[in-house]
Amino acid sequence: MKPVNRAKLTWDDWNRERIKKHGVSVSEVKGACKNRIITKQSYSSRQMILGLTRRKRLLAVFLSFEKQSEGYVVSARDMSSKERKIYYEKSKTN
């Protein structure tokens, strides 16, 4: 699994609009990636990051590394109940 450079995310109009549909901002995605607890493989060779924003919002962020070295934000949304459970279990061990 490719390590996520916390400072390097790739943005364009498409992914900004995509996360906006989920009510998520660019700064929230950056914060969740910075304060992540879990990074794991997801579907289609993507990585899923479970992280917490400054305002304590729990986000699931999906990144692709297919065409660039920095993480391309494919989507970001609030964590599902299953993802929150995993997040809280992992945060207790850290």
User: What pLDDT, on the 0 to 100 scale, is given for residue 1?
Assistant: 47
E strand or H helix at 17: helix 13-21
E-state strands within the chain: 9-10, 36-41, 47-52, 58-64, 71-78
Residues comprising the chain, all counted: 94
Instruction: Single out the residue of 27, 49, 38, 25 nearest to residue 94, CA to CA.
Output: 38
Is 5's pLDDT higher than 70? no
Model confidence, pTM:
0.86
> Cβ(4)–Cβ(21) under 8 Å?
no
- Give 27-76 pLDDT, tens digit per residue: 999 999 999 988 888 777 789 999 999 999 999 999 998 877 789 999 99
* Per-domain boundaries in the chain: 10-93
SS3 59: strand
